[in-house]
Structure formats: structure tokens, C-alpha cells
């Protein structure tokens, strides 16, 4: 049975991991006969967003690992415990937490930095030439992990694509139900809720991403 490391960025589309994307990804992994272990950085998230109003909750703080444990039903480990040699593949669901807590792309664009622990893990999978899947806005992080020219997608948003290209990646426009595969780097990306209008649309692309990652040797 293949083992997949899944890195989460909190809980909730506006300040953490996108919950639908995460659950659909975990389900797809199991449906493909693989198993997963969830990880997240043990640190304070950038900010807390009231998901009912969309406003930042001033003065409120939350921990990325603690919040991500909500989605993982408590079965989650600090990202520092994720070792590439223990897994066959790596997957990062999206949600703005990927661009706020795992890296700073949401704030700094092409001048962004990546959480050092997350970067270490992602780089280790890339160096070991193990397949990886990044969904939604998470490919912005992948642009920092892989070599210049790596092919990836966040969908069709021109401004975001330009920011990713400025990081040295090569953005490829992609529809919600499809994936972009960089065979050389063993990287699979899909737009998910960068384009999805409902959960079924998100499911189609995420399922294809998981299938493509697990099919890679």
C-alpha cells in the first residue's frame, strides 16, 4: 500500500486549509488504495478570518497544527516529523492558508518566503524524485520548491499566474476538471477552488490529481 504525506495549513478556506479540498483529497487517496498521514506546521497562523463575514478577527490567534487537527480528526503530526523516506508521495490541498501560513504568497506575491520546516519537507520529496500534488493556490508554494521552469497551474487567473511566473515557474492555464503534469519534476497540479463553482467540480480535478500522483513511478 502506498503511503502519502498530506500537509495542511489550518482549517478554513480564508485562513487555513480548504476543508472540502482536504476531505476530497483524503477520500481519493483511500479510494485509490493508498493510505495517508496528515502534517501541519506547529505555529501561529497569519490571522484568523471570520468565515461568516469574511472579516479578520482582530486580536484572535490560532495555531495552524491545532486548527488542522480539526479536519484530521486529531490524527495529525507536526510537519517537522514528516520524513520523505517514509512516504511514496506528497500532497498539499489548497485554501488561503497555503499562501498565508505555509508561505507568504498571499501577502508578498513573488517576493514571498516559505516556512522553513515546510520548505525542508517539500524539498526533500523533490530531491528524492517522489511524486507530489499541489492543489488550488498551493502551486505558488511549489514554484518556490522546484527548479526554474517547472510547469504548474492555479487555473486561469492572469494576475496570480503572473506572480507565479515571476517566481520562476511556467504557469499553464487549466480548467477546473483537469490537471497539469510536469513529468520531469513528477509534479501534478489542479485548480480546484481557484475555479470550482461547487464541490462536484472540485472533486473531479482533485480526484484526477490524486490518481495521477499515485500512478507515477
Query: What are φ and ψ of residue 33, in 5° steps?
Result: 85, 15
The one catalytic residue in 11, 103, 112, 136 is: 136
Structure-block grid coordinates of residue 23 = 476531505
| Residue 186 vs residues 57, 136, 139, 204: alpha-carbon distances, Å | 39, 17, 13, 20
Query: What are φ and ψ of residue 134, in 5° steps?
Result: -125, 130
Sheet containing 187-190: order of strands: 76-78, 35-40, 3-7, 89-92, 132-135, 187-190, 180-182
3-state SS assignment for residue 95: coil
* Residue 38 is among the residues annotated as catalytic for this protein: no
Query: What are φ and ψ of residue 137, in 5° steps?
Result: -90, -10
Give the catalytic positions in this structure. 136
Amino acid at each position: 500500500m502506498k503511503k502519502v504525506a498530506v500537509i495542511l495549513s489550518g482549517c478554513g478556506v480564508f485562513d487555513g486549509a480548504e476543508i472540502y479540498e482536504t476531505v476530497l483529497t483524503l477520500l481519493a487517496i483511500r479510494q485509490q488504495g493508498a493510505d495517508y498521514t496528515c502534517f501541519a506546521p506547529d505555529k501561529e497562523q497569519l490571522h484568523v478570518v471570520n468565515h461568516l463575514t469574511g472579516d479578520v478577527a482582530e486580536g484572535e490567534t490560532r495555531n495552524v497544527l491545532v486548527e488542522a487537527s480539526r479536519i484530521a480528526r486529531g490524527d495529525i503530526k507536526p510537519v517537522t516529523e514528516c520524513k520523505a523516506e517514509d512516504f511514496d508521495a506528497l500532497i498539499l490541498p489548497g485554501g488561503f492558508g497555503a499562501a498565508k501560513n505555509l508561505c507568504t504568497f498571499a501577502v508578498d506575491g513573488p517576493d514571498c518566503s516559505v516556512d522553513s520546516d515546510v520548505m525542508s519537507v517539500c524539498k526533500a520529496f523533490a530531491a528524492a524524485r517522489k511524486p507530489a500534488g499541489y492543489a488550488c493556490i498551493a502551486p505558488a508554494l511549489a514554484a518556490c520548491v522546484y527548479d526554474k521552469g517547472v510547469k504548474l497551474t492555479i487555473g486561469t487567473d492572469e494576475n496570480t499566474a503572473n506572480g507565479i511566473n515571476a517566481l520562476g515557474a511556467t504557469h499553464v492555464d487549466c480548467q477546473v476538471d483537469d490537471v497539469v503534469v510536469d513529468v520531469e519534476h513528477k509534479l501534478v497540479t489542479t485548480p480546484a477552488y481557484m475555479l470550482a463553482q461547487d464541490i462536484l467540480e472540485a472533486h473531479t480535478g482533485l480526484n484526477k490529481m490524486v490518481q495521477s500522483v499515485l500512478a507515477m513511478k
